[in-house]
Amino acid sequence: MGIVAFNWAEGNNNQLTLLMNRENWENRVISEASWNGNGEILSGRCEDNGGTWFGISRGGRVAFLMSAEILFDRVDQNTGSELYPIEFLESNRSPQDFALHHVAQREEERHYNGELDDPADGWSYSLIVADMTLNSMVHIRKPSQKVPIVIIQPVPFGVHTLSPLEGLDSTESPRDLCLKSLFSQIIPDLGNNEQAHMDDSAGRFMYDANGGAYGVFRQTRLNHPSGELGMQRFGTTSTTALVVKRTREVMLFERYMDENGAWKTHDFAFNIQ
């Protein structure tokens, strides 16, 4: 789960700006953003399956995911919708081709080739894949765990939110509507100041633990859905702020919770090759 707002801009100094909060159960080991082994992909990782909720490559490919499985803590080793962002970032497919000939076909195989013991074990998610060099962005949504229907649509220019349950630009979720309104107010500042101010921009509301049920930062204690792990913290474990400029400059700031529950920050700056 989580929450994200982004501006996919046309004719603006910033091609893409994004604010994202990741949420998960405390029993999951989530690593902070770092470069992969060959230094080509920058992402955080879920250590249980090697997947990610957000990543960007030096080649200008971006992917971010809202997955309903996280709420139910359905994370299996070496599988899950969190692998799709990694697979896109590692591929050379266009966003549209990846959606049609990788994700859609993969879902058909999972549901009809006997991979699922129960159709309810399927995945439900909303995924954005984009190529900055092609100026192309696609939304891939699988609304139901039980059937392999995948909805594919190009993302129009403008300000958007992404929800794990309602997809692109929910008009029903109070959290999404709240974030869209707040995010729209800071777009002129995000990325137009020095890197140090990325923290200030994100911190205006992405860290606010007093926002209540509709706040964009979430922190609560609930019974774990397995029924075996008792009460656990479920909530925000990282905040990502991203700016991709038309000059191909990339700035990324992350605030993340380490394994001891302490909040730490770091940032990255590089150019798309």
Residue 134 has pLDDT above 90, yes or no: yes
pTM for the whole thing? 0.94
Could you list the beta-strand ranges (E) of 26-89: 30-35, 41-46, 54-57, 61-67
pLDDT, residue 115, reads 81
114: left (phi over 0), alpha (psi -120 to 50) or beta: left
Q: Would you call 185 exposed, middle or buried from its count of C-beta atoms within 10 A (0-12, 13-18, 19+)?
A: exposed
For residues 28 and 75, give the distance between their C-alpha atoms in angstroms, rounded to a whole number. Answer: 9
pLDDT, residue 212, reads 60
User: Using one digit for the tens of pLDDT, what is the confidence trace for 217-260?
Assistant: 888 899 998 888 899 998 899 999 999 999 999 999 999 999 88
- Comparing CA positions, the residue from 138, 140, 185, 180 lying closest to residue 160 is 180
pLDDT, residue 194, reads 55
**DSSP string for residues in 125-138:** EEEEEEETTTTEEE
